[in-house]
Amino acid sequence: MTRNNLCNSIIVYGSWAPGGVNHHLVNGLPGEWRKGQILTNSGSSGDNLFPGEHKSIEAWILKFSDYNAEMFSPEWEKQQLSLFERWEELDRKMGAKMSRSQTSWWPELDETVRGQHGQQVVNIYLPMKNYPYLKDVLDSPHPSDENDVGKLWKQQLRGDKKYDSSVYIGLIKDATLEECIAYFVQLPKITPFLQRLMRFYTDMASDSGYLLRQDGDAFHLYALPKTEHQITATEAEKLVKKDIEQKTVILERKGDKFEGKLLRSVNYKVEKIPNEEQDFEGASGVLIEFNEWIEDSIELNHHWEYCLSEACYGIGANYVISQYLMAHLYPINFDFNLPYQLWKGGWEYGIYEKTCFISKLQ
């Protein structure tokens, strides 16, 4: 859950409502207060709200009257910045014991029916002690920083902010190796990752030092194998067979003898992978489930590891690269270098029915 810093309305209740002792904290906001209701737990009273929807209590809503620009217009860009700063200031005013979330509000005399009777879902401040999950609410990047992913990473490592992992999808692919080392070198137990990352940059970086390259007028959004690393079909088939074999062995050691037998029975063909939906039955389904099992087995114990995993996936929008770089976090005896060498050589594979198709990357 991420804080919504672009919301243009606020809900207040209890002592923050008009006439309450804490209303001065929000009284300067531009707009008109409207009386209505929100749903909460039956044990809630005054400022002491609890999670639930057992009863309706009085609550007021205010829409900021100074934010009405058309979305994506030049004026809207200015309002984004102003809205962000307004919410940051309100966060400070409300104090560390309150956390900003969102909830539904309805006009005073209407039924509290989802999607009906004037329902609005906007920002509200709730007592942290009663909503412990709000301690994990993620921050939103400042509008002036949202495209500077390196700056966001540094803010997070310092403990100033905590952003959603998706923010970092371009952290590595848009950086040089030197920048990446500066980003990651102080992280705990990071040496195996850095060693693989250095090899990856040696393999894939362009003369500019970046992973993404431009061919004439075409700019690639993801890292692509270099033509100089291209391997032959015979070499690709050998790698595929080794990869299928190691997956088969793991299945058999897990006790999945039948699934292992299905993988051993496939035929190999150097041919373009069929452009059709894979069958989840037979060897095709075994391969799909195995690949999902491997990815799910990664042991991520810290938020920064989730963010780093996202950055690795963002390099090429595939798990081959991310698994190769983060191999030390997978608690299984698997050679992630095999699928990486296949990708580096410009090939991929997929199983359809009883045939393993080995094809050049498209």
The answer to whether the CB of 31 falls within 8 A of the CB of 67 is: no
pLDDT value for 362: 79
Q: Which residue, 328, 350, 347, is CA-closest to 338?
A: 347
Angle between helices 149-158 and 303-316 (to 10 degrees): 160
Element (H, E) at 355: strand 355-360
Strands 214-215 and 218-219: antiparallel
360: three-class secondary structure by DSSP: strand
Q: Which residue, 238, 175, 163, is CA-closest to 205?
A: 175
Strands 9-12 and 120-127: parallel
pLDDT value for 353: 86
User: Tens digit of pLDDT per residue, the chain (362 long)?
Assistant: 889 998 999 999 999 999 999 999 999 999 999 999 999 998 899 999 999 998 999 999 999 998 887 777 888 888 888 999 999 999 999 999 999 999 999 998 778 888 787 899 999 999 999 999 998 889 999 988 989 999 999 999 999 999 999 999 999 999 999 999 999 999 999 999 999 999 999 999 988 899 997 776 667 789 999 999 999 999 999 999 999 999 999 999 999 999 999 999 999 999 998 887 766 788 999 999 999 999 999 999 999 999 999 999 999 999 999 999 999 999 999 999 999 999 999 999 999 989 999 999 97
Give alpha helix (H) positions in 39-170: 74-94, 149-158
Strands 55-63 and 33-40: antiparallel
Query: For the chain, which residues make up each domain, given as ranges?
Result: 9-136, 149-219, 227-297+332-360
DSSP string, 301-349: -SHHHHHHHHHHHHHHTSHHHHHHHTGGG--S---THHHHHHHHTTEEE
pLDDT value for 278: 66
Angle at the Cα of 231 from the Cα atoms of 228 and 236, rounded to 5 degrees? 155
pLDDT value for 112: 82
Q: Which residue, 11, 108, 103, is CA-closest to 53?
A: 103
Structure-block tokens of residue 81: 């910045």
Task: Compute how many other C-beta atoms are within 10 angstroms of the C-beta atom of residue 287.
Answer: 22
Euclidean distance between CA atoms 90 and 8, whole angstroms: 13
pLDDT value for 122: 96
pLDDT value for 218: 67
Strands (E), 200-296: 214-215, 218-219, 267-270
pLDDT value for 43: 87
CATH tag, 9-136: 3.10.490.10
